[in-house]
Structure 1
Amino acid sequence: MSPPRGKIRIIGGQWRSRLLTFPERPDLRPTANRIRETVFNWLGQDLSDLTCLDLFAGSGALGFEAASRGAALVVMVDKDAKNIQALQENKEKLQAGQVELVMMDAFKFLNSDTRTFDVIFLDPPYRAELTDQIMPLLPPHLKQNGLVYTEANRDWVTDQQWRAFRSAKAGSVHYKLMEYVNHG
């Protein structure tokens, strides 16, 4: 049974089966359970001590899933005040102290924050088609051997700086786990 509209269920880790609520917005579509299950199988079920960045956090499905699976820090970035409010309510409900919320445009965040992460979740609104613009900004924010998860409604072709480590398609959703290939 799928959760009602405006709700999504965490599928693994310490908060397994807990419901998250989020505002119903035209561009807000949480990553489906089946896709999240695959992605976290790729990443490994235990993310202990890893740091994650959830750009375009939206519902927080990916970020809270990572936190549920033991991530030491999950930074969720979203510029929408209603999304941030819902993320804050979910953070409090779960007592997710390792989750940091940042209300800011993703580009401004990447240009102003100097931290590095083990995993970056990149799932911008499909109609905005921002993947090509964001990808070049990610390498300085990746730890050595860090990975980037992308999700889009088209098969985004990586340039030679990126290697698709894993990729799949579910319905019209194309998703990949990529690593940066350092040419320096």
Structure 2
Amino acid sequence: MTRRSPRPRRHGKPATPRRNGKDGGRLRIIGGDYRRRLLPVLDCPGLRPTPDRVRETLFNWLAAALPGAHVLDLFAGTGALGLEALSRGARDACFVERDSRVARQLADNLATLGVGERGQVATQEASTFLTGQPRPFHLVFLDPPFRQGLAAACCQKLEAGWLCDRAFIYLEVEAELAPEVPANWTLHREVRAGDSYGRLYARHSV
């Protein structure tokens, strides 16, 4: 998952783990089958992997939910969270990314890891994707661009058949925003991530 924010993000670690000249940086898988694998990240404005410490915290929370899970990574960017989920036992992951260059790099990285049909990339807007034929996911990563009013609408659209009864939804938004989520989502955990908050919600049947 990757944020495209209108201003720089500040974390305890650099936004990209290592620079690779004009081609950008590197994404490091931190756990599971592909642990320590380094994958290229395009030099694209606002594109950066979710920091290692946030991913480690999040996937500790999700450890029991990952084996066999169907995963949706909206606003995927580098696909850091979806790739981490595949590495840690998810059955499959769908990555939604509107930028065609970024989507191609993500597809190349999936091929490099050899995940086969377990990883699929949809090159389109997240809101457009969510108007298609729904299929239920056990886990959704939702990391929309800051200050564009996208979070609440996407959360509501997910309730139109995109979520399993006991799904988890990880939502990352700017720190000053109080996210509007469906009434049947319960806050399970939260973590500060620089100038944003990451919140993990557990869904319950209506």
- The TM-score normalised by the length of structure 1 is 0.91
Unaligned stretches of 5+ residues in structure 2: 1-12
- Give the Å deviation of 1:127: 4.0
Residues 166, 204 of structure 2: 8 Å contact kept: no
| Match of residue 176 from structure 1 | 199
Cα distance in 1 for partners of 2:179, 2:107 equals 34
| Match of residue 164 from structure 1 | 187
| Match of residue 3 from structure 1 | 18
Sequence identity (%): 37
Cα distance in 2 for partners of 1:11, 1:75 equals 20
CA distances 1:13-71 after superposition (whole Å, capped 9, x unpaired): 00000112121222323211110001100101672211000001100101110010111
Deviates most, 151-160 or 89-98: 151-160
Say whether 1:74 aligns with 2:93: yes
More helix by share: 1
Residues 56, 124 of structure 1: 8 Å contact kept: yes
Amino acid at match of 1:149: Y
Query: Once superposed, what is the RMSD of the aligned Cα atoms?
Result: 1.8
Unaligned stretches of 5+ residues in structure 1: none
Amino acid at match of 1:113: Q
Residues 50, 71 of structure 1: 8 Å contact kept: yes
Say whether 1:27 aligns with 2:46: yes
Say whether 1:107 aligns with 2:130: no
| Match of residue 131 from structure 1 | 151
Residues 74, 99 of structure 1: 8 Å contact kept: yes
Residues 32, 87 of structure 2: 8 Å contact kept: yes
- Give the Å deviation of 1:164: 0.8
- The TM-score normalised by the length of structure 2 is 0.82
